[in-house]
Chain A
């Protein structure tokens, strides 16, 4: 279900219009259309066959805005966004393209649209890649009952990334389910014009015109793992994937050009650290021990900037329910967090430029670049990857199930204190090796485990937000200027609000944890592990 676009620079739009009208197309009056295509920095949506666009129709004030998610399997999903004044917090700016900001998929309303997007983008923001404005006339060949048989959109006055495109017009043909022949007829009709055809819609054409790589600024493709490959090769393949992200994100932070780079680097370091621990008796002990120490140092260096960045990303949500006056009263605190973030990023960039950091990066990449067969491994390096991965996942889940049983038996709220490391470990192992169980079992496993690991992560983030807010409040109190009464009150309100959220999250974590000891969850885990060991 993919579109094709026919475009021309030297044929008047009236000719295209006439050809289509002769083929039975009825056009609605033209309207102004602004479309912005989004993807993660490493093009995850594109790699997954998904296209996300923000589409705004009509005059700037009172425009109708929606997010459209398209894939190759079926209908496009349309998520109507409320008018700007009523948009959810954090989305106000998103409904006013073309200056679309990065969009956090987690801020979208709950439902299948958000789920599909989060599934593919992970926790990463999606960034605007290219914006196209045009005057669009939409045409339809309809059945007698009024359902569409063929749809064509004729765009003119195209502006791509702020520059007038060298196109007189572009006609976008999107197949209509159940009526392939009608679309083919329109294609034949347009084929009589000496125009250029490209696969994909006008936004895809715009990417080419603007020189944007749809795969994003950083390319990482998942490694091809098999259950029977040597465990050492499998671990190294996954480590190489994270190292590629680490390598690319590193420069993004040092240069300060990529807003998603910090997230990427933190993620890559966290996953790598877990894999180093889980790679015991698979990875060579010397390399494992050295890399573990070095990455621990890197993780510590990243922590402050990461926590500040996360807190700022969550700020609109945290303060969304406040009255405008309270939000204004919090502005000095917000400003302090911003200043701390700038300082932390500057310090981090300095650390990453240091000789020690450069050596860590170089030596790690060099080791991973060596041919797998020439690298000595640990005692279990040659064992089948599926067996080793299943054992590690089983162990991580068993630890969680033990905590779940303890929590259920005593009903004490503090019983899941040691949960976070096991949850992080399990999430990382599943992300790396879950596909070895096959798609169906991997999905069932994720459905059983992800709600817990996501919840644990959410609770941890709230705790880190609370620490950031308290530290910034201390900074503010120590500053020379006196803190206004309403600001002090608003800060107290925010910290109390965060404490309440943490308490709620803790309860939710307890509930999710209890599910891990249920028969259904255990069955999903056992099923997947049995398949991985096969």
Chain B
């Protein structure tokens, strides 16, 4: 199984949109995909039309030694795409991880029993650089960082480099431009700078009502607007990820 984490230090940059659309595109191209919604807000869970909550299991029981993911998996309306729903107790995930041995290995260990059942696991991470994020990144093959082309958001890449610097388990990192508004001079200028970074893919998800409609329709963009620039961008993003995960 290949693990793709969608993460950013900053909130509101389109992480969940990227995670859900990436997962959907992966499932369309023949992968068995699991989205693990690690964000207590549960937006990915909501967008994939699954009820939040782990039947009371909660973050504490999950990270305990006997915790397992399989009983909490849920099907989505999309073939080949399952979700591990979020619940609000995930906001204490850091605290519970801090209480177990080898916390940075814990999320990876939880995924191990599912290795034969899925080809791709997409981790929708909450913002920040917490212990939970480090544990997620420890299990990750490819880190995808959506970046809004503003000065502060653009620092995210550098921050991730610092977090990962010197780690033996450092995952490959790619970034893509998110919520790009070509009418704004700042976006255009920062976009140019970002595209000069080695990790940045030439993929731009525009700020668009099409992406915003994911909320009311509770579906990936390609299901209701497959020919739009946003749908094409997410498709290209998955193709780029796939090339890295399964090189020629």
Contacts and interface: CB of A to CB of B under 8 A. Distances in A.
Interface stretch (A72-80, A83-91, A184-192, A259-267): A72-80
B24 to A, nearest CB: 11
Interface string B225-248: 000000000000000001100101
A323 interface: no
Contact of B118 (A75, A109, A111): A75
Interface string A47-80: 0000000000000000000010100011111111
A300 B114 CA distance: 47
Interface stretch (B48-56, B133-141, B145-153, B194-202): B48-56
Interface stretch (B27-35, B95-103, B165-173): B27-35
Interface stretch (B3-11, B74-82, B183-191): B74-82
Interface residues of A, number: 29
Given A77-B119, A111-B242, A177-B73, A145 B31 contact: no
Interface in A100-159: 108-116, 143-148
A144 B52 CA distance: 12
B74 A78 contact: no
Interface in B1-58: 2, 27-33, 46, 48-51
Given A74-B117, A75-B118, A78-B80, A112 B32 contact: yes
Contact of A177 (B28, B75, B116): B75
Contact of A147 (B30, B31, B48, B80): B48
Contacts of B27: 78
B233 to A, nearest CB: 18
B51 to A, nearest CB: 6
Nearest to B72: A178
B246 A110 contact: yes
B218 interface: yes
Interface residues of B, number: 34
B120 interface: yes
Question: Interface on chain A toward B: helix, strand, loop, or mixed SS?
Answer: loop
A77 B31 contact: yes
A143 B32 CA distance: 22
A76 B242 contact: no
Nearest to A112: B119
Interface of B: 2, 27-33, 46, 48-51, 72-77, 79-82, 114, 116-120, 218, 242-243, 246, 248
11 contacts: A74-B32, A75-B32, A75-B118, A77-B80, A77-B119, A78-B80, A110-B248, A112-B120, A145-B51, A146-B49, A146-B218
Interface of A: 67, 69, 73-80, 108-116, 143-148, 176-179
